A and B are shown apart, each in its own frame.
Chain A
Amino acid sequence: MSGAGDREAVFPTRQSLGLMKSKLKGAETGHSLLKRKSEALTKRFREITRRIDEAKRKMGRVMQVAAFSLAEVSYAVGGDIGYQIQESARQARFRLRTKQENVSGVLLPAFESYQTEGNNDFGLTGLGKGGQQVQRCRETYARAVETLVELASLQTAFVILDEVIKVVNRRVNAIEHVIIPRTENTIKYINSELDELDREEFYRLKKVANKKQRDTAAADAELKKKMEAEDKENAGSGGGQAADILAENEDDDVIF
């Protein structure tokens, strides 16, 4: 008997055997599906990590170029424009839009940058001198920010995928190492219990049959003996029997 091992608390009946069998089948299907999902996600994840690595390096270069163009601006304008720019910032021209991408049922958001038209907070910056440099610097920085946005969406996808992959793998492992063995154990247990019952039933039937046979044999023998004895008596003394009856027991007196 499979008393050892983890199993579910069920009564060993044919019905629960059927239930367990369908459960095992379901668990196996689910396991293979989840496994495939996890593989697809991991593939995507690896691709994203590689791209993050590249993008981070690219960001280093782009930001260097941008910082250099800013240095050019402060040289051309001939003073610090930081304060002026910080004070004149009002409405964001550079904004984000989020869209979704579906990777095997996981929604990965991706940022997309766009520039709103028509508002310019820094129209007067560099009006006196260095306007061209300011313009160039703005373009450089806009490109840099686009790179940053791209990197940010990769990073978001990375964080989300990381989490989802962990969850999926946990499920795959749970099904593989807990649910399937447990269901198999339960099926084994139910089978062995049912076999046991079968054997008991068979043994009982055999016992009953044996006993019946013995009883019939004994009855047969007795009947035979009786018949033989009767035959012998009939053959030996024919008239003596009637005399015997009269002699044996006198009738009681009948009193009215």
Chain B
Amino acid sequence: MASTADYKDRQFLAVIGDEDSVTGLLLAGIGHVTDPPDSQKNFLVVDNKTETSAIEAAFESFTEQRKDIGIVLINQHIADKIRHRIDTYTAAFPTVLEIPSKEHPYDPEKDSVLRRVRRLFGE
């Protein structure tokens, strides 16, 4: 269970997504770069050339290392690439949320949480 101190200072969102999704979400104003010297971005743009290991590293940094992120948004087709990581991720904070992207319509069957919902209700 999450303790109280665990989520008090989580006030940012993080994004792992393709260029369009990230651009749109940044326009909404969620982008944040921490103060120098270690300026860390809270977003990662993934294109065809991005290595899976880089996505995993970003996911790990957003979910485990940084303590100021409350929600991690990840495009569903990118989540598919690191599906095993997403499925084994069960902590409450930060919440991992799969979002649709422009080219890839949303498929509720793949979503790790929705799959749990379905399994619980035996559908």
Q: List chain A residues, Cβ under 8 A from B81.
A: none
In the complex, whether B19 has a CB less than 8 A from a CB of chain A is yes
The complex places the Cα of A111 from the Cα of B73 at a distance, in Å, of: 14
Chain A 56-70 interface mask (CB, 8 Å, partner B; 1/0):
110110011011001
Q: Could you say which of B2, B28, B116 has the most chain A C-beta atoms within 10 Å of its C-beta?
A: B28
Q: List chain A residues, Cβ under 8 A from B7.
A: 98, 109
- Of the candidates B21, B29, B97, B120, the one whose C-beta lies within 8 Å of that of A155 is B97
Known contacts A52-B117, A152-B95, A156-B92; is-contact A85 B10 (Cβ 8 Å)? no
- Of the candidates A53, A91, A93, A95, the one whose C-beta lies within 8 Å of that of B114 is A53
- Give the nearest-CB partner of A84 in chain B: B23
In the complex, whether A224 has a CB less than 8 A from a CB of chain B is no
Would A66 and B121 count as touching, CB distance under 8 A? no
- Give the nearest-CB partner of B108 in chain A: A56
Would A67 and B117 count as touching, CB distance under 8 A? no
Q: List chain A residues, Cβ under 8 A from B121.
A: 49
In the complex, whether A151 has a CB less than 8 A from a CB of chain B is yes
Would A155 and B113 count as touching, CB distance under 8 A? yes
Would A122 and B27 count as touching, CB distance under 8 A? yes
Number of interface residues, chain A, beta carbon within 8 A: 55
The complex places the Cα of A122 from the Cα of B26 at a distance, in Å, of: 9
Would A96 and B10 count as touching, CB distance under 8 A? yes
Q: Shortest distance in angstroms between A165's beta carbon and chain B's nearest beta carbon?
A: 10
Q: List chain A residues, Cβ under 8 A from B27.
A: 70, 85, 122, 125, 134, 137-138, 141
Chain A 122-164 interface mask (CB, 8 Å, partner B; 1/0):
1001000000001001100110110011011101101110111
Residues of A within 8 A of B (CB): 49, 52-53, 56-57, 59-60, 63-64, 66-67, 70-71, 81-82, 85-86, 89-98, 100, 107, 109, 111, 115, 121-122, 125, 134, 137-138, 141-142, 144-145, 148-149, 151-153, 155-156, 158-160, 162-164
Contacts A70-B24, A90-B33, A95-B12 known; list 20 others, CB within 8 Å: A53-B114, A56-B106, A56-B108, A56-B111, A57-B108, A63-B106, A81-B23, A82-B19, A86-B23, A89-B31, A92-B30, A96-B13, A109-B7, A138-B27, A155-B95, A156-B93, A159-B92, A159-B113, A160-B2, A163-B1
